[in-house]
Amino acid sequence: MPKLYEPINVLKPVADRIWIVDGPIIRMALAWLKIPFPTRMVIIQLQSGGLFIWSPVALDENLKTAIDMLGPVEHLVSPNKIHYASIPAWKKAYPQATAWASPGVRERAATQHISISFDRDLADGPDPAWATEIDQLILRGNRFMQEVIFFHRPSQTLIVADMIENFEPAKTPKTLHWLLRFGRVCDPDGQTPLDLRLLFFGNHSQVRACLTRILSWKPERLILAHGRWYDKDGTAELRRAMRWALP
Ligand SMILES: [Fe+2]
């Protein structure tokens, strides 16, 4: 059985005004296999006091109580077109919040028959609502999806959903260890999953240009949605994980 990052569904402080919440396991289909993915969300409290919620996991009552004590939920963010499933439940709980769409997420949800409405679209640069604190860009070049990568400047934290994954063998069923290694997503050397990496073919100059911008942010921490995240040496870990795209 896969092991969780317990305790789940509770706020865990990362630095001033930024928290993670480790969520439940979801099962992602890969060929004939159903792969268990641990999930993780990020919460940033903006200077205004409002909350920026990145890739929300399932909302339960205890988590909602903890969130409500932090401040008003202002932004619900889908970082890429396969990270959005819990946004409708959050939007129902926080109807005043703005739901932000990633490139292609509306079309993706429609093909999955998931009813979801977004209020705004994420751009290749931060919205004025958070531009003084959070930077962002659209990582381009992938033929399946474009992920919006975020950087929380005060804590020097880079936030990545699927472009880097880092599953821990000790938390993953033994029968899947070969797949973690084959897919290049095995801790401590988690990288871009092989299937996504192959879908950058012919477009390495685009991803390299995006990485140059991200590296200029000089991240200290690197938070991932799946697997162990890196609480230090973020820039070095980013270079390691994305070395396939760097000169
Ligand atoms: Fe994911």
Residue with tokens 């890196």: 230
User: What tokens does 231 get?
Assistant: 């609480």
Q: How far is the CA of 239 from the centre of ligand 1 (A)?
A: 20
Does 5 fall in a domain? no
Instruction: Check pLDDT > 70 for residue 31.
Output: no
The total number of structural domains that make up the chain = 1
Asked if 68 contacts 51 with a C-beta cutoff of 8 angstroms, the reply is no
User: Could you tell me where the DSSP H helices lie in the chain?
Assistant: 61-70, 87-93, 105-111, 177-182, 194-198, 204-216, 234-241
Q: How far is the CA of 164 from the centre of ligand 1 (A)?
A: 9
| Residue 49 amino acid letter | G
Residue 34 has a pLDDT of: 76
Does 3 fall in a domain? no
Asked if 210 contacts 24 with a C-beta cutoff of 8 angstroms, the reply is no
Q: How far is the CA of 161 from the centre of ligand 1 (A)?
A: 6
Does 1 fall in a domain? no
User: What tokens does 138 get?
Assistant: 């659209």
Q: How far is the CA of 149 from the centre of ligand 1 (A)?
A: 13
Confidence of residue 3 (pLDDT cuts 50, 70, 90): confident
Q: How far is the CA of 202 from the centre of ligand 1 (A)?
A: 24
Q: What is the pLDDT of residues 50-90, one digit of tens each?
A: 999 999 999 999 999 999 999 999 999 999 999 999 999 99
Query: Distance (Å, rounded) from C-alpha 92 to C-alpha 129?
Result: 22
Does 235 fall in a domain? yes
Q: How far is the CA of 185 from the centre of ligand 1 (A)?
A: 12
Does 37 fall in a domain? yes
Domain with 89 in it: what CATH number? 3.60.15.10
Q: How far is the CA of 35 from the centre of ligand 1 (A)?
A: 11
Does 213 fall in a domain? yes
Does 214 fall in a domain? yes
Does 147 fall in a domain? yes
Q: What is the pLDDT of residues 184-240, one digit of tens each?
A: 999 999 999 999 999 999 999 999 999 999 999 999 999 999 999 999 999 999 999
Q: How far is the CA of 211 from the centre of ligand 1 (A)?
A: 20
Instruction: Check pLDDT > 80 for residue 174.
Output: yes
**Which domain range does residue 31 map to?**
12-245
Asked if 83 contacts 225 with a C-beta cutoff of 8 angstroms, the reply is yes
